[in-house]
Amino acid sequence: MTSVTAPDAAPKRRSRRWNSLDAREARLAWTLISPTALIVFGLVLFPAIFSVWISFHDVGLSNLNDVFHAEFVGLDNYREVINDFAFKPGELPEEWATANLGEKVSIIFTRWNWGAAVTSVVYSFAATALTVLVGLGASLLLNRPFRGRGLARATFLIPYVAPIVSVAFVWRWLLDPRPSGVLNDVLMNLNLIDLPRAYLAERGLALLIVIIFEAWRYFPFAMLMILARLQAIDRSMYEAADVDGATTWQKFWYVTLPELRYVIGAIFLLRLMWTFNKFDDIFLLTGGGFGTKVLPVLTYEFSFRLRDFGKGAATAMILLVILVVFLALYVGVVMKNVEED
């Protein structure tokens, strides 16, 4: 018996000593991190839970100061949002029945009201795909050594760090609907258009422009991450491909792209979520008009234009549900793959 307890007791005593040291370390750790945790959880986590509460209550400007006594309305806010013409897809125009395929495509993109939910999803996927594609192009361009590469790389980052307000307004002004707008002037001089166009005030075209703007502004993020991965690819794989007589295209397709798969997947989902959450860009470019109303802009309009915070919160919750699906994909697919690597 003693031979069993004796080796048992020694580690226990040691572990208690370690415990006290551990405990001291843990106390220090919590002291150090508590201000950050307090601010972040207090101003993010608590409001997030509170926002669920608001979405089930009738909260307007009149009872904002007495918000805890707001009337419980169940799912009314959700029902109203889902049936709102700005949220759900609208009716197809009458010509739809008789239109041929080309006309149907044109009706879908230029005349049909998609509603904020569909617009949000289409816009986020298209903008993210274009952003990643442009980022990939830019990173391949900067991956080869040339004189002035450092400067070029720095320049490529400028759209990403410049304030959104200034770049959005410069773009709006470049796209000015008057003949004095730069894009109108250039296209008219090239005889590509006869009359000036209002690029941000045409259904379909406005969404396309906003998507291009997103790619212009956010490609540097994708570029930097892809560039880092590109430079980590083992040179010997290309040498082996050279020995086998592979063309540049084959090397890209069979060596580079497989190596980039996970980083591109990670960027895609990260950017997808950020784009999905994004309010400023569309609000500043189009104000959410002409087929560009996305869920964040709708949330803002319900809350701060109509002052119906309950409906606003309900819209935000719907946005969050879609986001959680993206997030689950992110954790399930990307993180898993990264760990396996």
Given 58, 67, 82, 329, the residue binding another protein (CB under 8 A): 67
Rounded to a whole number of angstroms, the minimum distance from the CB of residue 159 to another protein is 6
Residue with Cβ nearer another protein (112 or 313): 313
Residue with Cβ nearer another protein (126 or 297): 297
Number of residues that bind another protein (CB under 8 A): 91
**Phi/psi at 334 (nearest 5 deg)?**
-70, -55
Which segment (4-12, 30-38, 78-86, 111-119) binds another protein by CB under 8 A? Answer: 30-38
Please count the residues of the chain.
Answer: 341
User: Rule CB under 8 A: which of 267-286 touch another protein?
Assistant: 270, 273-274, 276-280, 284
Given 11, 25, 62, 93, the residue binding another protein (CB under 8 A): 25
Residue with Cβ nearer another protein (179 or 258): 179
Q: In Å, how far are 6, 10, 26, 159, 271 from 17, measured between CA atoms?
A: 17, 11, 14, 55, 48
Residue 164 engages another protein in binding (rule: CB under 8 A)? yes
User: Rule CB under 8 A: which of 240-259 touch another protein?
Assistant: none
Residue with Cβ nearer another protein (291 or 301): 301
Binding mask 303-322 for another protein (x = CB under 8 A): xx----x--xx--xx-xx--
Given 96, 109, 125, 216, the residue binding another protein (CB under 8 A): 216
Q: How does DSSP assign 275-299, residue by residue? A: HHH--HHHHHHTTT-TT---HHHHH
Residue 157 engages another protein in binding (rule: CB under 8 A)? yes
The answer to whether 86 and 97 have CB atoms below 8 angstroms apart is: no
CA angle centred on 330, ends 266 and 220, rounded to 5°: 30
Rounded to a whole number of angstroms, the minimum distance from the CB of residue 168 to another protein is 9
Rounded to a whole number of angstroms, the minimum distance from the CB of residue 286 to another protein is 13
Helix locations, the chain, DSSP H:
2-40, 46-55, 76-83, 101-110, 116-143, 149-161, 164-174, 182-189, 205-230, 235-243, 248-251, 257-277, 280-285, 295-300, 309-329, 336-340
Which residue in the block uniquely carries the two structure tokens 């730069």? 182
Compute how many other C-beta atoms are within 10 angstroms of the C-beta atom of residue 124: 24
User: Rule CB under 8 A: which of 168-197 touch another protein?
Assistant: 169-171, 173-174, 179-182, 185
Q: Rounded to an integer, what distance in angstroms lies between the CA atom of residue 35 and that of residue 41?
A: 10
Given 135, 207, 217, 288, the residue binding another protein (CB under 8 A): 217
Rounded to a whole number of angstroms, the minimum distance from the CB of residue 215 to another protein is 10
